[in-house]
Structure 1
Amino acid sequence: MYVPLPIDEITLGEPLPVNVWDARGQLLLRKGAIIRDEHHREWLRMHAPMIRREDHEVWRFHYTAALDRALRSNQPLQAIAGVARPMAFEPPAAIDEDQRPLTEALADLHAALTLLLHQGEQLQDWSGRFVRVDQRLQALVRQHGADDVLFVLVQMLLNPELGYSASHALTCAVVAELTAHHTLRWPEATLQSLRRAALSMNVGMARLHDDLARQEGPLHGEQRRAVLAHPERGEGLLRRLGVSDPLWLALVRDHHEVSGGGGYPRGVADPSREAQLLRLADVYVARLSPRVHRPGLPPPRAARDVALDASGVPTPLGTALVKTVGLYVPGSYVELASGELGVVARRGRRANTPLVFALIGRDGLPRGEPPLRDTEQPAWAVRGSVAPQQVKVRVNPDRLLARL
C-alpha cells in the first residue's frame, strides 16, 4: 500500500531515507538518492511520488518524536516550528538486518553516514552513531564478502543521484582496510583507526565535497581555501565530537600529506605509512569517480596513478593497493576479447583476470541472463575498460551477485 510522499517537507541535498515510487509502482528514486534542487522537486512532483505506508508511518513517528523532544525541552516556538522532517532514521526493529538485500543495507549506511558527515555537532551521540556505521560496514563485508560490497559501492560511486562524500568514504574504507589487512597484514587496532579515518576524513568539508562533485566549473578561491583547511578542520571537529584515538585523528589531519613534502595542510615530508595508504585509497577512489565536469578514469589508469610515485617508480604501498583491488575493481565495466561488454563481478587470481558478467553481446544487444566469463580464458580476456555510459543496461546488483 502506498501513500503520497510529503515532498514539500523534504530537505534538499540530503539522502532520502525511503524508496520513492510513482503511482504505477515504478521506482523513481532509490533510498539514499537526493532531491538536488527546487527544479528536481518539481520534476518529481509531476510524477505523483509515493512511498510505502509502512515507511511513511515510521518516518512520521520519528518526526513527531523530534517535535515532542523540542516541546519537552521548552525550546522557543521559533525553534519548534523549525524542526524538520528527519532525513535519516533507524529501520524498524522487526527487520532482520542479515536478511536485507546488500544494496538496501548499503543505501542505509550511505544515508546514515551522510547525516553524520553533514550535521556533525548538531547531532546527539555522534560518536556512538558513527561507531555503529563502522561496525555495520564490517558486518556486511564479513557476511557478503569484500567483492560484493565493492561491487555495490562502485556502482554507487557511478550514480550521480547519490551524495558523493558518503559513497567516497565507504569505498575508501573498504579499499584501505582490505589492503592493510590482506596484503600488508597490519594489526587489528591499526585497521580500526584506518577504517574510521577513511569514513570521516572529509567531515571538515562534506557538504562542499558533495557540491564539488556536481559543480561544472573549477574551484573558486573560497572553495580552494576550504579544501586546503579541511584536514585540520576535520581533526578539530572530531575532537569536539569525542574522538580520542590519536591515530584516527592523525590520519584525518595527514591524509593529504605526501612523502617528500608538497602535500597539505602542513607539508609534512615523512607522513606515516598509515597516512600514505589512506591518501592512496583517497586518490584511487577519487580517480574512479565521475564528476559533472569530467568522467571517471578507467580503473587501470587510476591504479597506475597510485602505484607509481612522481618519478614513475612503483611504491610498496601503491603496489600493495593495486595487488589487492586488481586492475579492474568489482562494479566497473570492461570490454572482452569476444566483443562483449560486461561488469566486473569478482577480482581474479591475477590483477587483470577478473570474473565478468557479460551484459551486452557482440551484436550490441543486451543479454537477458548475463553469462559469467572467466577472463583467464583467452576467448574472454579483458580488452580494456569502458565508460559506464557505453553500457546502456541497468545493473541489478542483488540479482547478479545472487548467482555467484
Structure 2
Amino acid sequence: MVKLLRRASLSDLPVNKPLEWSIYDANNNLILRKGIVISMPGVAEKIVNRGYFLGEPNPADTKNNEQPNEDERDDIALREPVFVLATELITSISRIHKIVLSPPSTLSRIEDLVLQRARQLIQLLKRNSDAVLAALYLNQSNRETRPVKHVLGAAIAYLIAMQSCDDEAQLLPLICAALTRDISLYHFDHTSSHIDIISDHEYSRIKEHTVTAVRMLRKHGIQDEAWLRYVYEHHEKPDGSGYPHGKKNHELHEFSMILSLADTYAGMVVANQRRSGILPGNSLKEIFVSKGSLCLEKHIAVLIKKIGIFPPGSLVQLNNGEVGVVKSYCQNKKNPEVYVVSDIKGFPKAEPVLRDIKQPEFAIQSSISLGKCKVAMFSIKKIWQDL
C-alpha cells in the first residue's frame, strides 16, 4: 500500500520541472509518477481541485528510479478522455488567438504556444481520431465558433496529409498554419450579422485576410516559412479562382491545397453568426461536386475515406424514430457505429444505447442538425467518456 502524505498543492506542482513526489488519488491509484514533468497549462490546477495526494512512490511505479522518457512526459495529456481534452483544446486555441490579436510582446512566445497545441492535437488524433472529430463538431453551441473551425480544420488537414506524409516534423507547420489560418477574421465576426450586406470595404478586407494573417504572425515572431506559406495560400484554388493571387495547382504547395480543403469543410459544418452549420454528409457531397476546381479529387477521396459520409459526432434519425449519434466510422461508411441518445418521443436516454443499423428498424433514415438534439447533449458526451 502506498503511503499518502498529504493533499497536493500548487506549490508542489512546478511547471516544466520534474515532480519530487508521485501523485495518487484517494484509492492509492497512481496518477503521475515521480520525475514526470508537467508542461501543459491547467494540469496542476486539476490535480489540486480533484484532491489528489502526494505519496511515497511504490518501487513498481518508479521503474527502478529511471527518469521518464519523452513519451511518459507526454502521457500526462492522456489522463483524461480524448473527447474532454479535444474540447479543452478549443479553449486553449481561443486564448492563443486573443494573444495574437493583442500587441506583440516578448513574453507571449506565440510560436511555442501554437507548436505545443499542434503536438497535443496530433497526439490526440493518434489516440482516437473519432473522439476528436466528434468533440470538435458537437462543441459548437455556447462558444465562439472561430476557434472550433481552426481546430477542426487542423484535425482534418492532419488526417488528409498523413496519408502521404508520416514525418511529424513536416506535418507540424501545416497543423500550426491550420490553427492560425484565419486569425485576422475576428473583426469580421463581430461586424454585420448578415453576409448579404457586407460593405465593399469589408469584402476587400476578407479577400486580403490571408496576407493580413501572415503579417500578424510575423509581428509575433513566427518565422517558419512553411507555416506562413500555408496560411498565405490556403484560400487559393487549383483552378486559379482563389485568392489573394489566383494561383493554380502547379504553383501551390500540396499542403496549402490540403489546408484549403480542410478549411472549406470546417467552414461548412461549423455554424457562425450568419448561418447554421451544414450537415457533415451534405458538406462532403458539395465538396465532392467541386472536385478538380476548388479541391483536388485525390484529397477529397482521402477525406471521405478517413471520416466517412457520416463522420463521428453526426446526429442521425433511425427508421424507428430514435435519434442516434455516430461514434466511429469503423472504416465502413455503410455501417458506422451508432448510439441512440433520444427515444421515439424525443426524450433523452439516461445512457446511450448501441444499435445495429444493419437491422431494418434501426437503419439510418437521415442526418439531423445539432439544434434538434440539444436536450440529449449530456447523454451524447457519455459515448466518449472512456476513450
TM-score, structure 2 as length reference:
0.73
Q: Which runs of 5+ in 2 are unaligned?
A: 1-7, 12-40, 48-75
Equivalent pairs, count: 315
1:253 is displaced (CA, Å) by 0.3
Aligned match of 2:14? none
CA distance in 2, matches of 1:301, 1:112: 30
1:165–1:209 contact (8 Å) kept in structure 2 = no
1:264 is displaced (CA, Å) by 0.4
Aligned match for 2:129, one of 146, 160, 173: 146
Aligned match of 2:325? 343
Assess, with a 3 A threshold, how the Cα gap between structure 1 residues 185 and 134 changes in structure 2: closer, same or farther: closer
Aligned match for 1:193, one of 160, 163, 173: 173
Confirm or deny that 1:113 pairs with 2:93.
yes
Confirm or deny that 1:261 pairs with 2:245.
no
2:174–2:259 contact (8 Å) kept in structure 1 = yes
1:169–1:199 contact (8 Å) kept in structure 2 = yes
Q: Secondary structure at the match of 1:367?
A: strand
Confirm or deny that 1:135 pairs with 2:115.
no
CA distance in 2, matches of 1:269, 1:179: 20
For residues 202-246 of structure 1, the C-alpha deviation after alignment (integer angstroms, 9 at most, x for no partner) is: 1222x236436x924533333322211111111222233232332
Assess, with a 3 A threshold, how the Cα gap between structure 1 residues 309 and 363 changes in structure 2: closer, same or farther: same
CA distance in 2, matches of 1:326, 1:306: 13
1:171 is displaced (CA, Å) by 0.7
Aligned match of 1:180? 161
1:113 is displaced (CA, Å) by 1.4
Percent identity between matched residues is: 24
RMSD of aligned residue pairs (Cα, Å): 3.0
For residues 140-175 of structure 1, the C-alpha deviation after alignment (integer angstroms, 9 at most, x for no partner) is: 3334x111111111112x31x212111111111111
CA distance in 2, matches of 1:93, 1:319: 43
Assess, with a 3 A threshold, how the Cα gap between structure 1 residues 402 and 107 changes in structure 2: closer, same or farther: closer
Assess, with a 3 A threshold, how the Cα gap between structure 1 residues 398 and 107 changes in structure 2: closer, same or farther: same
1:15-26 alignment to 2 at 5 Å? Answer: none
Assess, with a 3 A threshold, how the Cα gap between structure 1 residues 151 and 308 changes in structure 2: closer, same or farther: same
2:234 maps to amino acid: H
Assess, with a 3 A threshold, how the Cα gap between structure 1 residues 118 and 314 changes in structure 2: closer, same or farther: closer
Aligned match of 2:38? none
Q: Secondary structure at the match of 1:371?
A: strand
TM-score, structure 1 as length reference:
0.70
1:335–1:342 contact (8 Å) kept in structure 2 = yes
Confirm or deny that 1:92 pairs with 2:14.
no
CA distance in 1, matches of 2:166, 2:199: 40
1:375 is displaced (CA, Å) by 2.9
Assess, with a 3 A threshold, how the Cα gap between structure 1 residues 167 and 220 changes in structure 2: closer, same or farther: same
For residues 295-319 of structure 1, the C-alpha deviation after alignment (integer angstroms, 9 at most, x for no partner) is: 2112111001222326899811112
For residues 69-102 of structure 1, the C-alpha deviation after alignment (integer angstroms, 9 at most, x for no partner) is: xxxxxxxxxxxxxxxxxxxx74436736433454
Assess, with a 3 A threshold, how the Cα gap between structure 1 residues 387 and 262 changes in structure 2: closer, same or farther: same
Q: Secondary structure at the match of 2:230?
A: helix
Q: Secondary structure at the match of 1:262?
A: coil
Q: Which runs of 4+ in 1 moved over 6 A?
A: 310-314
1:145-294 alignment to 2 at 5 Å? Answer: 145-156=128-139, 158-159=140-141, 161-181=142-162, 183-185=163-165, 187-205=167-185, 207-208=186-187, 210-211=189-190, 215-218=193-196, 219-270=198-249, 271-294=252-275
1:359–1:393 contact (8 Å) kept in structure 2 = no
Aligned match of 1:389? 371
1:348 is displaced (CA, Å) by 2.8
CA distance in 1, matches of 2:350, 2:95: 38
1:326–1:351 contact (8 Å) kept in structure 2 = yes
CA distance in 2, matches of 1:275, 1:314: 11
Confirm or deny that 1:400 pairs with 2:383.
yes
1:66-77 alignment to 2 at 5 Å? Answer: none
1:258 is displaced (CA, Å) by 0.6
Q: Secondary structure at the match of 1:290?
A: coil
Q: Secondary structure at the match of 1:109?
A: helix
1:279 is displaced (CA, Å) by 0.7
Q: Secondary structure at the match of 1:395?
A: helix
